Structure 1
Amino acid sequence: MNPDHDDYSVAFNPSPSAAELTVLFSGEAQPISLHKMGPTIHDYYLIHTVLSGYGDFMIRGTSYRCGAGDSFVIFPDELFWYQADEASPWRYAWFAFNGPGAAAALEAIGVSPESPVVPGSLNPHVRNAYAQLRRCFDTSLSPELSNLEAEGWLRLLLHQLGAARAKKRLAAPAPADSDHAVKQALQYLTLQFAQPISVSHMASMFGYHRTHLCKLFKQATGMSPMQYLLQIRMQRAELLLASSMTIEQVASSVGYGDALYFSKKFHAWSGFSPTEYRKQLRKVSADGGE
C-alpha cells in the first residue's frame, strides 16, 4: 500500500507498443488529505478523472479547482503540481499514454496546456473504460492483443472527454457584459503577469472604468485584480523555484525587477524566503516525498 494513499492500485503495460497511441499504465487511488505531487514534470501524457472529493491542479502558472466529474491533463515536459483537498480529498482514476498521435488526439478534443481541464467528464462509459483498461494488462493475452485492446479503450476515453467538452460548450449561455469584462481581465492577468501591470491601464484598454471593473472582478473571484495578480505571480514563483534559475531570474520572470522586493513579497505570501522555500523543496525531494 502506498503510504500517501488509503487505497491505491495500478496496472502497467508490460510491453508497450510503438503504435500511434500507446497506453503505459492506468490506476485508481484515494490519496490522503493534502497529498501533493510536484512541482515536477513527466515525459508522457497523464489524465486524471476525479471520481469524488476535491483537489487543486496547477500548470503554466494557473491553478484549477477540480471536483467529482472533472478530468485534468498533464503534458510532457510541462511543470505541474496537484494536491488533494484537506477536508474532502479527491479519489481519482488515471491513465498515462504517449505516441506520435497523442498531441493531435488531445488537440482534436480541445485540450491543451492552456485549457487542461474537462468538466463533467465522468459517466458510466468512462468508469467502465478505466476498469477495462486496467483489466486488459492483467490477462493472459499476448502483448500485441493487449496493446490493441488498450488502444481501443484509450480512444474511447478520449472520445468521452471530447464529447463532454463539446456538450459543455454548446450548453454555455452567451456571456453577459459583466462576465465578458471579468474574462478579459483574467485572461490579461494570466498571460501578462510577468509585465508591469496597472489596473487603470487594463480597464481603459478594455473600455471599462477602473472602479467598475474592480467591482465586477471582486464579485466574480473574491479578490481584487491586484490580489489575483499577486496570487498568479507567487504560484508561478513556487514552480520556478523548483528549477535551477537564480532568485533574480525567478523574480524577473514573475514581474519583479527588484529581487529584494520580490523576496519580501514571497515571504509574506509563503512564510519562507525564496531561498528557504527552495531548501524545503530539495529536502522533500531528497526524502523521496510525493
Structure 2
Amino acid sequence: MEEAIFLVKQQRSNFKDFYFSFCGHSKTFPSHSFGPAVRDVFLIHIILEGSGYYSIKKTNYHLSKGQGFVIYPGESTFYQASEEQPWEYVWLAIGGELVESYLSNLGITPAHLSFEVTNLADFHALILQCLAYEQDTQLNELILQKIAYNFMELLSKSMTQTLKESHSTKMNGYVLESLEIIGEHFWRNITVKEIAEKLMIDASYLSRLFKKDIGISIKSYINEMRISTSRDIIATTNLPISKIAEMVGFPTTQAFSKAFSKGMGLSPFAYRKERIGSNREIS
C-alpha cells in the first residue's frame, strides 16, 4: 500500500523534442511494490526518505535517501520499498527526442541508471507545484513544460555523481522467468502450480526462491501487479470499474473492489473520484 498523489496529462500540443507526461509523490508502506511495468517515456525518481530497490535486466539495485534512478522507455522494471524503512519518493515522466541526450550529458545512460543528488526539498517542491495545474488548458500545459525543464535544470545542478558501483544483487533465473510469465498472464487466474509446471520446477521450491529475491510471495506479487495496473487504468481512462476488474483478472467487480480497497485504502470509485488531474465526467 502507498499514499500517492499524481498528475497525468494528455498532450494538447505537438511537442517532439521534450514534453511533460506525468508526475507524482508517493509515501509507501513496508514492502510495497510496483510492477513489473513498461513505460513509453523516461521516468525519473528522486528518493526523499527511506530505502528500497528496483529490478531491471536481471539485477536488483538497492537505493536510499538522496539517490535517484531513471527508467528508460520500453524497459520492464519492478521496484519495492524496504520493510524496515519504506521509501518516499517523487517522480517525473518526460518524453521527447532530446531527453536521452540530456540525460547522457549528465552521465545517466542505460549502463548507469542511478545517481546521487542534493536539494531534495527543491525536487519535492517542483513536483507539488505541478499538481496545481490539473486543468487541461493551453496555459497549464506550457507551465508544466516549464516546470519539466526546471526539473532537468535542478537535476543538472544538484546531481553529485552517477552510481557506477551501487549495491546490487543478481536475481535467480527461475525468478526472472516467473516474472516474465506473470507479466504475460497476470490478467487471468494463473497459479503458482501453473508457473512451476511451465518452468519444470517444484512449486514449493519456486515459492522459496521467489520470496527470497522479491520479498513477497508469488500470490501477493500477482495481486500487487493487478492492483497497480488497475490503478493506472482508473487514473488515465474513463472505463467502467467492472471492465477494469475483468481486464486485470478479477472474477467479479465485488472481488476487485475488495482487493483494491485492501491494497489502496479506498475503493476504486473513491480512488477515481479523488485522483488528481482528471476533469472527465465519471459515470
CA distance in 2, matches of 1:271, 1:129: 37
1:162 alignment partner, one of 156, 166, 169: 156
Q: Deviations over 1:73-99 (max 9, x none)?
A: 122110100111112211111122212
Is it true that 1:269 corresponds to 2:209 in the alignment?
Answer: yes
SS of equivalent residue, structure 2 residue 14: coil
CA distance in 2, matches of 1:158, 1:235: 35
Q: Deviations over 1:170-192 (max 9, x none)?
A: xx9xx9xxxxxxx7xx9xxxxxx
Residues 164 and 61 of structure 1: CA distance in aligned 2, closer, same or farther (over 3 Å): farther
Task: Indicate the residue corresponding to 2:90 in structure 1.
Answer: 93
Task: Indicate the residue corresponding to 2:4 in structure 1.
Answer: 8
1:32, CA displacement in angstroms? Answer: 1.9
CA distance in 2, matches of 1:236, 1:114: 20
Letter aligned with residue 155 of structure 1: Y
SS of equivalent residue, structure 1 residue 119: strand
Unaligned ranges ≥5, structure 2: 186-198, 227-248, 251-255, 264-283
CA distance in 2, matches of 1:271, 1:125: 37
Residues 282 and 235 of structure 1: CA distance in aligned 2, closer, same or farther (over 3 Å): closer
SS of equivalent residue, structure 2 residue 182: coil
Residues 32 and 263 of structure 1: CA distance in aligned 2, closer, same or farther (over 3 Å): closer
Q: Deviations over 1:157-202 (max 9, x none)?
A: 223323344x336xx9xx9xxxxxxx7xx9xxxxxxxxxxxxxxxx
Residues 10 and 88 of structure 1: CA distance in aligned 2, closer, same or farther (over 3 Å): same
CA distance in 2, matches of 1:130, 1:63: 27
Task: Indicate the residue corresponding to 1:43 in structure 2.
Answer: 40
Residues 122 and 237 of structure 1: CA distance in aligned 2, closer, same or farther (over 3 Å): farther
Letter aligned with residue 146 of structure 2: G
Unaligned ranges ≥5, structure 1: 176-182, 187-219, 222-227, 246-258
CA distance in 2, matches of 1:114, 1:242: 26
CA distance in 2, matches of 1:12, 1:242: 26
1:271, CA displacement in angstroms? Answer: 6.3
SS of equivalent residue, structure 2 residue 91: strand
Task: Indicate the residue corresponding to 1:214 in structure 2.
Answer: none
2:181 alignment partner, one of 214, 237, 241: 241
Count of aligned pairs: 212
Residues 100 and 158 of structure 1: CA distance in aligned 2, closer, same or farther (over 3 Å): same
Q: Deviations over 1:194-219 (max 9, x none)?
A: xxxxxxxxxxxxxxxxxxxxxxxxxx
SS of equivalent residue, structure 2 residue 154: helix
1:13, CA displacement in angstroms? Answer: 2.5
1:37, CA displacement in angstroms? Answer: 0.7
SS of equivalent residue, structure 2 residue 25: strand
Task: Indicate the residue corresponding to 2:13 in structure 1.
Answer: 17
Is it true that 1:150 corresponds to 2:144 in the alignment?
Answer: yes
Residues 127 and 278 of structure 1: CA distance in aligned 2, closer, same or farther (over 3 Å): closer
Task: Indicate the residue corresponding to 1:64 in structure 2.
Answer: 61
TM-score (normalizing by structure 1)? 0.59
- Structure 1 residues 182-197: aligned runs within 5 Å: none
SS of equivalent residue, structure 1 residue 241: helix
Rg larger for: 1
| Higher share in helix | 1
Residues 164 and 59 of structure 1: CA distance in aligned 2, closer, same or farther (over 3 Å): farther
Task: Indicate the residue corresponding to 1:102 in structure 2.
Answer: 99
Say whether the 8 Å CA contact 2:21–2:93 is kept in structure 1.
yes
Say whether the 8 Å CA contact 2:172–2:209 is kept in structure 1.
no
Residues 280 and 105 of structure 1: CA distance in aligned 2, closer, same or farther (over 3 Å): same
CA distance in 1, matches of 2:87, 2:72: 21
Residues 260 and 168 of structure 1: CA distance in aligned 2, closer, same or farther (over 3 Å): same
SS of equivalent residue, structure 2 residue 130: helix
Letter aligned with residue 161 of structure 2: K
SS of equivalent residue, structure 1 residue 39: strand
Q: Deviations over 1:18-77 (max 9, x none)?
A: 212111222112122211111221222222211111111111122111211222212211
Percent identity reads: 19
